[in-house]
Amino acid sequence: MSASLFRFAVPACLVLLVLLVQPVSAQPSIVSRTVVSMGDFNYPVNETTVAAYGDKLVAMWNVMAWNGASFPHHRVGYAVSEDGGESWTDMGFFPRPDGCSSEQLDPTVVADPLGEFAGDFIGGAVVRCSGSSPVRGHVARMPDTETEFDEAVELSNGSQTCSTDYTQLAVGPDPNDPQGATHLYMTCFTLGNDIGCTNPESLALFRSVDGGETWSSRTFVEVNSTILNLVAAPWPVVTSDGTLYIAYNHRTSSSAREIEVVANASAGSGQFTNLTLSHSRISFTFPDNGLMYGNYIAGDFRVFHPLQMAADPTDPNVLYIVYHDFVTAPEDPEDDADIDVYIIRGEYNGQTEEWEWSSRIRVNNDSANVEHDQFFPTIVVDDNGDLHIAWFDTRNDPQGPDDDVMISLFYAHSDDGGQTFTNHEIDEVAIDTLVLQQETFIGDYIRITMADDAVVIVYNATGMLIPWPFTLYVEQIHSARIVWE
């Protein structure tokens, strides 16, 4: 079957696309689609995240109150599947702490894998409790037998008032008891526009050692007694031996950044170690258009510079980082920027006691140096050590660089440690900016996870709200399920 699977206008709803993927020589095929929940023109949705424990999945996303609705109505929505993604509950709203009625954004979710809280889900987001107060992180737990979150717990920003931004959760074994208990971590970076904030753009961390019941105040990550500053988009993972790793973008100038990684084997307390990316240290520039960490692709949609990192569950000494890079800057800001998706592999050398990092490998397989964009990569490594990566892709845009752009969803698989990848088109018209006609924000990330033997991708997409007589399209949340047999 052709790698180009389908192009269709979906109803205004959250849609589940179920694909059975045959051995690596075959192509994915669609066997069913499931309607999950309704959409709304006034509330675009984006920034998806998903986690799984067995066949149970929890997906979360932003519900943006634009198009005339007031700013404080931004919320985080969620839905639950208890059959591996075959069906989903109606959308609920993630709880906010008592007394917090203002905007809520940046969802993140993990599933507790073992110990007393095995099977529980922990969701998180940021919230502003009043119009002028600093933004804070907050979390809530969903017990393994439930489909709704408990009351939210507000996290303390500590002694400084810096707002918390871009929260991401990670869960993994207690380094002192890898088989018996887990620790939870939430990373963020700080915003410096608040009175009393003396460490803006710093890498910060919250920790919980009791399953998320209580959390430490926000602390700043230090290497050699120096707080890590000029940081964006931190991404935490915990390996099977309980070591916490955090990858992040380090801004070296107004138009340049580097990817760096720090590690801590003491449950996130004390000093971190900087894992220098040696000769293959990732450093690159991007056009300066007034945004500190982003640029616009065709269609005038902002593209932030996030990265994602994944640990190999079969080997605690192997890490993977995916990101998108600007290869060439467009002369016209309305043109595509030729963004590509890359991966680098890190492996700890026990003899030298140093981390060794590969050169970057291009994941997307379209023609090089062509004005097509691949961005927002997301990665998961399965229990066999195989890599699964998904991203947004404009290679199918029939008009080429233009004000409007057709964005597809692509997926890649590797069974050789990221040396080679097969590419598969999952959704030919995930987002069509020509018919969307809304704001210039499609989020900052999408997310992929493993649900038993299935790969599940949750992403924002364009869907039809009113088919006739006045056709109207809106942003929705779609989910793709991929199974290797």
| Confidence band, pLDDT 50/70/90 cuts, at residue 421 | very high
More confident call, 64 vs 166 = 166
The full set of domains in the chain, from first to last, is 13-484 (2.120.10.10)
Tell me which of 94-103, 307-316, 373-382 is least confident.
94-103
pLDDT (tens digit per residue) in 386-399: 999 999 998 888 66
Q: Cβ(426)–Cβ(456) under 8 Å?
A: no
pLDDT (tens digit per residue) in 426-463: 888 778 776 665 556 788 899 999 998 889 999 988 77
Distance CA(250)–CA(229), nearest Å, equals 8
What is the per-residue DSSP string for 92-152?
Answer: EE----TT--S-EEEEEEEE--SGGGTT-EEEEEEEESSTTSPEEEEEEEE-TT-SS----
Q: Cβ(185)–Cβ(266) under 8 Å?
A: no
More confident call, 382 vs 336 = 382
Per-residue pLDDT at 66: 53
- In this prediction, residues 152-173 reach a mean pLDDT of 89
Distance CA(31)–CA(264), nearest Å, equals 44
pLDDT (tens digit per residue) in 264-302: 988 888 889 988 664 334 444 444 433 334 556 655 677
3-state class (DSSP) for residue 217: coil
pLDDT (tens digit per residue) in 172-227: 998 888 777 789 999 998 887 677 788 888 999 999 988 888 999 999 999 888 88
Per-residue pLDDT at 224: 82
Distance CA(102)–CA(127), nearest Å, equals 7
Is residue 98 over pLDDT 60? Answer: yes
Per-residue pLDDT at 431: 80
For 354-381, give one letter per residue: b (16+ CB within 10 A) or e. Answer: ebebbebeebbeeeeeebbbbbbbbbbb
- Give Cβ neighbours of residue 159 (< 8 Å, ≥ 6 apart): 217
**What does pTM read for this prediction?**
0.88
pLDDT (tens digit per residue) in 115-151: 888 999 999 999 877 767 788 899 999 999 999 999 9
More confident call, 84 vs 325 = 84
Characterize the bridge pairing of strands 163-174 and 177-191: antiparallel
Per-residue pLDDT at 170: 96
Token digits of residue 203: 């890498």
